[in-house]
Amino acid sequence: MIPEKLLDLGWNGMWAAHLEATGAKGRPGRVLVAHRGACIVGTAEDDLPAEPSGNLRREAQSGGLRPAVGDWVVLLAPGEASGPAVMEHILPRRSAISRKVKGKAAQVQVIAANVDTVFLVAGLDSDFNLRRIERALVAVWDTGARPVVVLTKSDLGGDVLDKVKTVEAIAAGVAVHAVSARQDVGLEALGPYRRRGSTIALLGSSGVGKSTLVNRLLGWNRQDTGRVREHDSRGRHTTTKRELIVLPDGGVLVDTPGLRELQLWEGEGGLDAVFADVTADAGACRFRDCSHHEEPGCAVRAAWAAGGVTPERVESYRKLQRELGHVASLRDERSRLERSRQEKVIHRAARKHQPRE
């Protein structure tokens, strides 16, 4: 029988099968907090500080997984280690929400793992931004999690219905909910996503009302809430770390600090899906590999010129397409350098073991 606490954290038969496949004899746990290699892991008995084993550290340095909030891990059996518990395995991820680390390096940061639903939180105040929602949709679309747009502060937006329709137009097939966490309006629409065993992650900029929403979902004021600047509705980070929280009426929630910038890591499939209206005529282009920029006979640009989509949406598509292309080239270069490094290691080892004449 599965312990109640593990059920609350989302453990089920699929994870039990993954654990059995590892052959490990330790106990399972879920990463509740992760920072700089040290973690807090929830187990059937209690929450423990934990650190990656030496093998996990070496694998991470070679491009392997690093523990992230939401990961299911295997801890060494009790009595095999003193001090912090030791994570010896990370079970295969069902989904991963990632972003590129800021800067020129081709490095990825996993925001949350094993997420079922991502609430893309945006405010209906003066910070309302369709282009930011498009970016978030592209980032989440192919992760294995379901995106849901949650428009907060509906009490501050006089044209709520118009904004909801505008978001629905750019988020085909994605549920869009307008809520006011402060006034407890519309929150019942989020109930179906909160069931025992499910995991929800919240993504959004600072000041959009994530902390207030978390407090309402929990039923008590766990998170501090901050004031936003009047001129642009932006706020300070009131959440300072990614953390997995068990909801009282079922499911778990991954709260994240406000993202000043969500740099894409992958998302080519998401780009095509989110901007299907923009590229609807791609099959009629003269060239199969048409980039819809300057090639002659481009049916997509002809449709744009005829007013099929707004210029702002076209420019958003092009911007994200360029960004994904740049990131792909960085990833290719990193792979080339890693292959070169491995070849040098192999060659040095081979020379070292060559028999002397």
Q: What is the pTM of this model?
A: 0.85
Instruction: Look up the CATH number of domain 96-255.
Output: 3.40.50.300
Cα 94 to Cα 82: distance, rounded to the nearest angstrom: 31
Q: What is d(CA 51, CA 76) in angstroms, rounded to the nearest whole number? A: 11
What is the Cα–Cα distance from 200 to 110, expressed in whole angstroms? Answer: 15
Longest dimension (CA), the chain: 87
Determine the CATH number of domain 4-90. 2.40.50.140
Are residues 114 and 70 in contact, defined by beta-carbon separation less than 8 angstroms? yes
Question: Which tokens hold the place of 95?
Answer: 């989904």
pLDDT in tens, the chain (357 residues): 889 999 999 999 999 999 999 888 889 999 999 987 789 999 999 999 999 999 999 888 877 889 999 999 999 865 555 678 999 999 999 999 998 888 777 788 899 999 999 999 999 987 889 999 999 999 999 999 999 999 999 988 678 999 999 999 999 899 999 999 999 999 999 999 999 999 999 999 888 888 899 999 988 776 555 454 444 444 444 445 789 999 988 899 998 876 667 888 888 889 989 999 888 888 889 888 887 888 899 888 888 888 878 889 989 999 999 999 988 888 766 566 565 655 555 656 666 666 655
CB–CB of 41/29 below 8 Å? yes
Name the residue ranges covered by the structural domains of the chain.
4-90, 96-255
